[in-house]
Structure 1
Amino acid sequence: MMGYTSREGLFFDMVGQTVESESDVDFEKYVPNFFKVDPGSDLSKSIADKIKAFYLGNNYVLRNVKDKICMLRTDTTFMRGIYSSVKHHAATSSEPVFFYRFSVDAGLNMFKKMFKIDSPGACHADDLGYLFKNALPVYIERNGIEDKTIRRMVKLWTNFAKTGDPNPIEGVTWRPAFQDEINFLDIAETLTMGENPENERMKFWDDVFALTPQTAKY
């Protein structure tokens, strides 16, 4: 069982690394160090330019930079590695791999509430607030989004712990991921199945990884 939150990159707001404008960003820093590309080299600058063009585009609106960089940070620090791990586990494991995206943005999103982050989406580790008791002063209304999410999450995780399969759950069958069909459960106000999450962004990183022989296999 593996997963991520919809806005993992909000973690950097939590640790005080908020980006407000393009001038705050050195895009070469987002070239993964395991590419073994020398900073300042033509290849490093070329990859950085590709990253900037993909995430900001040519006609971006300055006020949207913060959210776009949040998605870049989501992908480079969290999502790309998680996605790659799911693909490799699905290809090599004899057991099913269950993949999820946590998208709930409500009162028990732990780190958003603790660090007063007002941007939309679920921050890194916000799913923990629905699995474990915590000190957030939140009134849990019966059948409200927090109550429903707690019940769903606890059932999914305990089913998986007991049987190795999070099913059965309400209204949907959580299908495992395969190497070429990355099924995932989106845990939002409702539960829905999807395929190949953040597909355009992950395809972009597949293309970037193909630029160096050290990372082409990833």
Structure 2
Amino acid sequence: MTSGSPSSPDRHPDREPDAVPAERTVPTLLEQMGGVQGIVASSIPVAVFVVVNIITSLQPALIAALAAGVVIAVWRIARKQPLQPAVSGLFGVGVAAFIAYRTGEARGFYLPGLIYSAVFALAFLVSVIVRRPLAGVVWHGINGDGQSWRKDPRLLRAYTYASLLWTLVFAARLVVQGLLYQADEATWLGIARLAMGYPLIGVALLGTIWAVSRARQAPKHAA
């Protein structure tokens, strides 16, 4: 093809070639956490501790929980999957196991979880007060989107409601499990830890999805 051809790019130096979507180079928050599989895997050692402690006693439960964390880490290495979720889970269960071992009480294993619930309940509540609802920040971080959603009053309101729902979830976990912790009901505390884990998180996720879907479908003048 000669330089005088109509299709030659030299004839139109100001015309840009068709844009090619840039590939995402920075992993999303969900990808960094190892996806849904990674989130679930990180909670397995806790479930193992709960079950083994109910069946046997504290020391076997601690050993089983730590062993489960190690197995998950090795499994991830073998499959060349993100190691961070397994390491984080192993670190968390290690801290919990250390507290339980030092105190000699099974309920000590659940103390980090209580602190976790308290911190997140407060964080979600404060985010609503400062008009930066954490549900939106986290949701768009997981999906790799930006934070431009805050300019849309409909989405801002929806994520505010969702953040209040998450506040309620973590506060409920803190109150119920905190009362069981104070009563030294380790078995029921373990059962509550499992029952108020993924089921309540699932409810909060569904509530978030529902609120955001309604906000996106609402006409702009309704904002």
Give the structure with the higher percent strand.
1
Tell me if TM exceeds 0.5: no
State the TM-score, normalized to the length of structure 1.
0.30
Structure showing greater relative contact order (alpha-carbon pairs closer than 8 Å, 6 or more residues apart): 1
Q: Determine which structure has more spread, i.e. the larger CA radius of gyration.
A: 2
State the TM-score, normalized to the length of structure 2.
0.29
